[in-house]
Each structure stands twice: as structure tokens, then as C-alpha cells.
Amino acid sequence: MPNPPYPLHESIIPRLDPEYADFYNKHIINHQQTHYQPISVSRASGIIIPGAGPPQPVAKTQDLTIPRAESSGPDVSIRCFTPLGEAPEGGWPVMLWIHGGGWVLGNIDTENVICTHLCNRAKCVAITTDYRLAPESPFPAAAEDCWETVLWVLGAGAKVLNLNTNLMAVGGSSAGGNLTAVMCMRSIERWGTSKFKLQLLSVPVMDNTADTTNNASWKENELAPALTPEKMIWYRKHYLPDQKDWKHPEASPLFWEGDWAKLPPAVFVLGELDILRSEGEQFAEKMKEAGVDTQVHIMKGQPHPFIAMDQAVREGARAITIFCDALHPAMYPQKN
């Protein structure tokens, strides 16, 4: 097992955003890599990726526990952010945000900065789910917990939080982007239509069969920092211990065989130096071919975690702004 420091590979430095490289060399180079230490140690640190700015001000933050409607397990914990000001007629639009962490790390605190930006700047209630983690709770536990949140919002939650569930969006980063796509697909399979007006996908995992032999960006960026092939497969094997599940559409949404034309409009932000870039591009291309309004933004010089580093790298802040600028008009269509 290699030990710190972990210097940037010389082949990557000319391609890497100088802001990211500078922050990495000051704050990350000497930290032990997640996949080289016990999971409990990584979880105890409380921070998956350093470099986030402060949360935005919101009117109210509520931690709630919701009962399960369809799956088995403990009650599901969620956090709800309500924006400043008065709710519009019919109630607040609602944004479901699903945190990343490879289905192994992360919790209800992990991406509160992103949640408060979406809440405050798009004027909607933002809700994040504290879904169960692998390896203790492997696939499909995370998807089941996020789906329970969707069902609660469409049911009792609408009254509890004064929500207009006709104006609902979903989004997430990395593993959360994977679960975002799954929520949209489940919605179509359940109701024949999407309950979501928009999906926001940051560096999503779309193909759990990908590796350096069959995927362009896995090979191209195998020496990039933050998310290496070795680390991604470490996450994969914890969440998907049975290799037969790797191609399941709720593990690899790229292989979904449903009606792609019914998927909601999507905004992707992908890292140029992320091993997951190609599978995000492939998913977006399938949506475009089906006639779905799809935007793809490639963040130049960025490895995987940029959106969680909005204070350290300007492209991280720009990614959040891209999402906020897309979300507000989707949630307030009458003003367009």
C-alpha cells in the first residue's frame, strides 16, 4: 500500500487547472487516499473533499425522519432547506439533491453547500437524503432510500413543507448523479411519465462496467488525481459486490431499456480530466438522440470533485451557477 505524499503525475500537470493543482499541493497531497485506509477512518473525518465555500443563508433547515412506504429497513432521514421569503401560490417548488461519495461515504451534511445554493438562488425547497451506505447496505439500498424520499415528497411531505410537487427537480453528484438518473427512470416506469421537470447531473456514474480497456476517459485520465480507476473499482465492489449487478440499469443507467424520450430535460457538468466523463457524455448523447433537451458542460482542466470545491476552484463555483441558472426557470416557468 503506497503512503503519502501523492504527487501529481507529471503527465497530468500540463492538463490540470492551475487552481486545482495549487490547492492539491497545499491541502491534499499529504492526505491518505480513501481506498488505502479503513472506511471508518474516512467517514470519521467528516469531509470527503476539502475546498467548499460557506453555505448560503436560508430561512429554515429541518431534519426529518420519514417512514418507508415500499421498502424494508429503518426510517429514512432527510434534511430540508426552505428559502427566504414567501412561498409562491401553490407552494414551493422542490429540488431533491442526492450526495456523492461512491455509495460508501457521505451523509446528510456532505453537500449542504450545494443544497443551500440551489435553495436560495433558485427559490425552492431543497431536500437531501441520508441514504444507507455500502458495504453495510449494498445495492440497491441507496436507490430504495432515495425513492422513499420521492414517494414521501409526493405524499405527506407536500403538506408538511408546503410544496408544489408539480414543480419538482432532482439532481446529484457522482454516485448521487447515478441515483438521480435512477429516480427519473423509476418515475417513468411507475407512472408512465417523469414526475421531474429537470435533472441536474454532476460527474455521474452511468456505467459500472467501465474500465481502462473499454472506456476512453478511463484510459485517458487514469493518472489524474481524485478518482483513479483503482479507487472507482474499490467503490464499485463495495456497492455492487455481485458482479452480475454491474450492468443492472439501476446500477448502470446507461443500459436502461425504457423510453428515453420520456426522461426529463437534463443539465450535465462533467470534468475534462475525470475518468467518468465519457459515460456522462454517452448518456447525454442517448438523451439527445431521443429528443430530450440536454445540456453538457465540460469543465476544462477539472478532475472529478470540482463541484464540491467551489471556494478553491472557480470552475466549481461556475458549475453550481450553471445548475442554479437552469433550475430557477424550470421551477418558475410562468415567469419565462
User: Catalytic residue numbers?
Assistant: 174, 274, 304
Sign of the C-alpha dihedral, residues 16, 17, 18, 23?
Answer: negative
Contact 270, 280 (CB under 8 A): yes
Residue with cell 456514474: 205
The 3-class SS string of 81-116 reads EECCCCCCCCCEEEEEEECCCCCCCCCCCCCHHHHH
The 3-class SS string of 137-186 reads CCCCHHHHHHHHHHHHHHCHHHHHCCEEEEEEEEEEECHHHHHHHHHHHH
d(CA 128, CA 58): 15
d(CA 118, CA 180): 16
Question: Per DSSP, what are the bridge partners of residue 294?
Answer: 266
Question: Per DSSP, what are the bridge partners of residue 268?
Answer: 201, 296
β-pairing verdict for 76-82 and 163-173: unpaired
d(CA 70, CA 26): 47
Instruction: Name the burial class of residue 315, with classes exposed (0-12), middle (13-18) and buried (19+) by CB atoms within 10 angstroms of its CB.
Output: buried
C-alpha cell at 213: 480497456
